[in-house]
Structure 1
Amino acid sequence: MPPNPQTLMLMLLGDFVLDRDVCVFSGSAIDVLGRLGVSSHATRSTLTRMVNRGLLKRQRDGRKMYFGLTARAADLLHDGRSRIWEAGAVNDRWDGTWTLLCFSLPESWQRERHGLRSQLAWSGFGPLQGGLWIAPGVVPAQDIVTGLGLSAHARVFHARAADLTDIGAMVRDAYDLSEVSARYQEFLDRWEGPAPFEDPLAARLSLTAEWLGAIRRDPRLPVEHLPPGWPAARAQKLFRDLEAAYLEPARAVAEDLLDLQIDCI
């Protein structure tokens, strides 16, 4: 499924605004997303919603409106950058350690339960049974429960599985491997053939957004406990090859297209 306008906007800002102390003119954003098939009305609505959600700040210069990143949006983009370039999609250096988190919340705490489960899934956890979730490696799970104000209702452990434990079966119980695999296969199906966009800037933004969509819910399970032919490595190589090919042509297009304002407040 193609990325939504907000995701494409974040990719644009991550490439050309993040860590640069600049804002981008709304008209430039409309031009760029227009190359991806997003209408000007949809782009303006997206900018407004992102301001209301605390992701963007805006400032006027004459008749022009410029948009810059808030600290919250910058944190999201730095996290995405880390997942793409540092963590990657292939966990071939696992040391055998698991992080275990067990929690018990009152039945009436539906919102808190949903928030905790969402953040655990984002951080690579899968539900093993009841209120027990696991993730490969050492994960700062205590930060998750503390940030949600749930420290009194959760416990975190780091452990290794005993020799008699069937880790492959445990992984299949805790994670929907078919869903994770399908996201990588969808990425491969879309990008292994002819590029969906001739414009290099549009292609790069869409490529990065779709790759982040593929890896963002991947728990990075150890490769030795994944099914044969797991598509993550092939998909990651394809992404990196295409990203490198699009980089300079996309920058050249952006340099002519983007109206950036320095010293963004």
Structure 2
Amino acid sequence: MSRSKASNTPSENHVFPLAVARSPLGDEHQAQALSSELSLPYLGVVQPKDVRRASVFLFLDENGLGLQVAGKGAPGPVRAEFVTGKMGYRREHGGGSGQLVARAVGLQKTKTGLHVVDATAGLGQDAFVLASLGCDVSLFERNPVIHALLADGLARAALNVDCAPVVARMTLHAGSSIDWLANAAERGEVADVVYLDPMFPHSDKSALVKKEMQVFRTIVGDDDDSEALLRAALAAAKYRVSVKRPRKAPAISGPEPGTRIEGKSSRYDIYPIRALPPR
């Protein structure tokens, strides 16, 4: 049950693991709503470097919602961003169906518009790439904090003339994908491809990945039900399941993947079920 607004007001001396705050230009109504919905204390208007009453906080400013580490010298907020930055560049200059994630779901093998279930959506970057290439993507993110970031990023992207058609092919769901996948066949909603990217220790040394993984692990931790997720995905997928893993990590326990696609730091384990419709 959501806490009342009064109960979300933090005491002066208590340090919260997670809170909600905003800049002077952040929307107060949205901040209060997030505080109530997620049952998190609301710190009001803050400067991130001056925050002492929370370790990490959801921070609303003129650029939208971000996940911010408190204190001096902390990196800037992690956001679900599709219009500018890395994803904006990738949208405009990406490698099309030759991108690793596109190959992993089989876009080089078929011209049919695939329904892809991204069962561990995170910040939605891979789902956005697939949607930009014509897939209809159902995104599941069970962590309510990451879900809030993703919902905010998609809402902002929907206002951009170039991104809006892509976002229109993306449907975000809350809660665990395992339950949805387990009941998919009964509902007649079998996915063409199920894509999994469970949380794992990341060895990439780039600043952005390091920042995202550090903040994410604070909030999410590792996925300890990857085996159950893979079983549910294999039961629900029509053509294949694709699992993103660190390049040198073992496969998820269970059936052996039929093939692999390797990149510099990660790989995709492919579990084929039947042939994709031909091009």
Scaled by the length of structure 1, what TM-score is found? 0.24
Higher relative contact order (CA 8 A, sep 6+): 1
Which has the larger strand fraction? Answer: 2
Q: Considering only CA atoms, is the larger Rg found in Structure 1 or Structure 2?
A: 1
Which has the larger helix fraction? Answer: 1
